Structure 1
């Protein structure tokens, strides 16, 4: 009879755990395949593996197996924006499982008024404990998923996420230690109260960190708004200046034509040709400003063109007139302003004759491609996959991190490479992508 309870508890426990795990992944990620048999096969492999590791009897191995299996299944069967998210959600899920196990054991001890050690040593009570845990899990996993989706774990800073995970692990260790100390002489009622209080503290800290992140995000958006307003004012000022120049040119055009006619009449063909070239250059200067149907992009690029003019930087803008309506104006400013500001700053450190920025924006195979290429002086400093600086500071690194964060919202990718003294950033985004809920 004990074997029946033992194996029944194992199959029920890991069967429900695997089911909830797949439901969790299906809600947090996007499935890669339409064939259901692949998911069923991985589910069965997970359950069989979990039972096998449980038979070994080493708790840490069971936990490691669960973590590694969830990460592997997530990568194999689901699509996620980043591997970091997969790791974070895997940790959250298994901390959730641990809390369920602890609460189910404590609930049975409180109801039966037996000690923790008696419950753990009695196969029938252990089966009831497992059943309570599975019922608790089935009744609460949708709430956990909703909390993860609502609070957007990815918006919380990495350091804050690490702090929360370390805190949760500490709490689990603390509760386990207390349980070991009292398992011979207590039914766990006080430990149940302590556990619920710690869970409440965790939820409060998550909400607090989210509020802090939202505050930083709001400050960032306000800075971007100020930057947009400044660029807009500069752009309108340049338009006003252009209008004034064009009005004066048109006003003097009659005199220019008369002068040209007199030069040709007097046989001064070379002087007439040079004079005509001067007029054409003046007209080109008035009509050569960047224009596209996206008002924000027009303002941004014209602002950067003016900065390039001030520093003697040649800028080549090969920009298709695409529909950027799928990108939020703040993200548009973040992407183009940071990329072009970094390129301008890098060019300002080299000889004037070598200063050149190539900006290309075009559609390729259904994707919008943005490329910014410029020469640089110095040594590129990388930390893992992120560029820190070309000058020992962190301005460029922060700028590119902001660009990467903005691009990620639209399921885009950002590639960075350096070759023969040139640095290039290339971005690919689908115009059909949507931001996170």
Structure 2
């Protein structure tokens, strides 16, 4: 009776393992509730067949039932279902052979595994732990789309490895001790508890990872919505300004018509040109984040009387993540404004261009009356509180490293211009 109870827990563990494996690896075809019910019924059926001690029948039914379950419950081909069913069968037999050898080494007599219930529990639990560990490793390599974010996945294997080590050590310590009935019960309960604790660790980790990914997606959607709202606010404001400008254009044309001196006409047009240029900066790059950044720094430069020249018609860095692009451009342009504001020329030039089909270039020039502080080519902050500054350059370099870009800077003493050059690979 005790052996039957242990077998029930072993088959329950196998149900959890197979369900966990298939749910992560395959796209479901049926509802979760349906899958759980069918898997449980199949596990119950296999457990009953196992009690008949007909090995070949048990193997054949396990292979057939797993194949049919995978095929009908998940969106995979019949060949894929056959492959994974065969994979489970091979790994199960391999682990049972290995643990049988371990059991004989600990108990001398192979028949002891059938006669001694504590020996049976020891070998069975070790077998299931090894079985589970190997299948999780296989799952890691097969589910590549899932494994990219599982940075700490391999650390989870500390649990099954340490569990097997603890069981082996305990069996070694109690090898020459005759266990009482209470000790046997405690031993069985402990082994089963350790077994289910292992799969619980993986399930909880997968659940937390899924929640983390969902939270990241929600934040990304919110950030995209906020970006769109800001973009449309700028467009709306620009439309209002254009409406006012178009309302006044009639008067401007009349004024130009009444001017007889060509020089006076040119002067008048030159005064109107900055307004037209301001409107042309909105939506120029077809990259919303880049347009927002250009709009932000256009207005900021206007408020500080800094000339801001822009040319981003041939490249827009659309392949760079919005957060990374914002961090990169904000840090570069913040530094450029800080230097240009203190200079006599007060000029900032922003250029984005395609060097060829594989590379894009980002060039930012700004007037700077004094050469920047650097040590071995590395820029140093000139601000008083260095513990709170200098992170901008580090952020820039982190993004450069992330996108395998090339970063350089130079300062021209004659023109008093500081230049930042970055080359991105489009691939």
Question: Normalising to structure 1: TM-score of the pair?
Answer: 0.51
What is the CA deviation profile of residues 195-219 of structure 1, one whole-angstrom value per residue up to 9, with x for unaligned ones? 4522431342243034224414532
Give the alignment partner of residue 371 of structure 1, picking from 362, 365, 380.
Answer: 362
Higher RCO, Cα 8 Å, sep 6+:
1
Aligned residues: 292
Q: Note closer, same or farther for the CA distance 1:404–1:343 as it changes in structure 2 (3 Å cut).
A: closer
Aligned pairs for 1:330-345 (under 5 A) are: 333-345=322-334
Q: Distance in 2 between matches of 1:210 and 1:380?
A: 45
Q: Does the CA-based 8 Å contact 2:352-2:361 persist in structure 1?
A: yes
Per-residue deviation, 1:254:
1.7
Q: Distance in 1 between matches of 2:274 and 2:363?
A: 25
Per-residue deviation, 1:312:
3.6
Per-residue deviation, 1:245:
1.8
Q: Note closer, same or farther for the CA distance 1:399–1:240 as it changes in structure 2 (3 Å cut).
A: farther
Give the alignment partner of residue 416 of structure 1, picking from 403, 407, 426.
Answer: 407
Equivalent in the alignment of 1:305: 298
Give the alignment partner of residue 158 of structure 2, picking from 166, 169, 175.
Answer: 169
Q: Note closer, same or farther for the CA distance 1:200–1:104 as it changes in structure 2 (3 Å cut).
A: farther
Matched, 1:247 2:247: yes
Matched, 1:277 2:273: no
Q: Distance in 1 between matches of 2:393 and 2:254?
A: 54
Give the alignment partner of residue 425 of structure 2, picking from 420, 424, 428.
Answer: 428
Q: Note closer, same or farther for the CA distance 1:336–1:143 as it changes in structure 2 (3 Å cut).
A: closer
What is the CA deviation profile of residues 326-358 of structure 1, one whole-angstrom value per residue up to 9, with x for unaligned ones? 74xxx5643443332212321343214365444
Greater gyration radius: 2
Q: Note closer, same or farther for the CA distance 1:177–1:215 as it changes in structure 2 (3 Å cut).
A: same
Q: Distance in 2 between matches of 1:168 and 1:133?
A: 10
Equivalent in the alignment of 1:233: 233
Equivalent in the alignment of 2:64: none
Aligned pairs for 1:171-210 (under 5 A) are: 172-173=161-162, 175-183=164-172, 185=174, 190-191=190-191, 194-210=194-210
3-state DSSP of counterpart to 1:180 = helix
Aligned pairs for 1:144-159 (under 5 A) are: 144-150=140-146, 152-153=148-149
Q: Note closer, same or farther for the CA distance 1:132–1:295 as it changes in structure 2 (3 Å cut).
A: closer
Q: Does the CA-based 8 Å contact 2:315-2:353 persist in structure 1?
A: yes
Q: Does the CA-based 8 Å contact 2:308-2:349 persist in structure 1?
A: yes
Give the alignment partner of residue 106 of structure 2, picking from 117, 127, 140.
Answer: 117
Q: Distance in 1 between matches of 2:97 and 2:193?
A: 10
3-state DSSP of counterpart to 1:153 = coil
Q: Note closer, same or farther for the CA distance 1:399–1:304 as it changes in structure 2 (3 Å cut).
A: farther
Aligned pairs for 1:18-417 (under 5 A) are: 104=95, 108-109=99-100, 114=103, 117=106, 142-150=138-146, 152-153=148-149, 161=151, 165-166=154-155, 168-169=157-158, 172-173=161-162, 175-183=164-172, 185=174, 190-191=190-191, 194-258=194-258, 260-261=259-260, 264=261, 273-287=263-277, 289-290=280-281, 292=284, 294=286, 296=288, 297-321=290-314, 327=319, 333-350=322-339, 351-353=342-344, 356-373=347-364, 392-393=387-388, 396=392, 400=396, 412-417=403-408
Per-residue deviation, 1:118:
5.1
Question: Normalising to structure 2: TM-score of the pair?
Answer: 0.52
Q: Does the CA-based 8 Å contact 1:107-1:192 persist in structure 2?
A: no
3-state DSSP of counterpart to 2:426 = strand
| CA-atom RMSD in angstroms | 5.0
3-state DSSP of counterpart to 2:236 = helix
Q: Give the gaps of 5 or more residues in structure 1.
A: 1-99, 122-130, 155-160, 265-271, 431-437
Q: Give the gaps of 5 or more residues in structure 2.
A: 1-90, 111-126, 176-183, 412-417
Q: Distance in 2 between matches of 1:168 and 1:280?
A: 71
Q: Note closer, same or farther for the CA distance 1:229–1:217 as it changes in structure 2 (3 Å cut).
A: same
Q: Distance in 1 between matches of 2:192 and 2:97?
A: 6
3-state DSSP of counterpart to 1:365 = coil
Per-residue deviation, 1:253:
1.2
Equivalent in the alignment of 1:51: none
Per-residue deviation, 1:416:
3.5
Q: Note closer, same or farther for the CA distance 1:284–1:416 as it changes in structure 2 (3 Å cut).
A: same
Q: Distance in 2 between matches of 1:116 and 1:423?
A: 69
Q: Note closer, same or farther for the CA distance 1:357–1:175 as it changes in structure 2 (3 Å cut).
A: farther
Aligned pairs for 1:7-22 (under 5 A) are: none
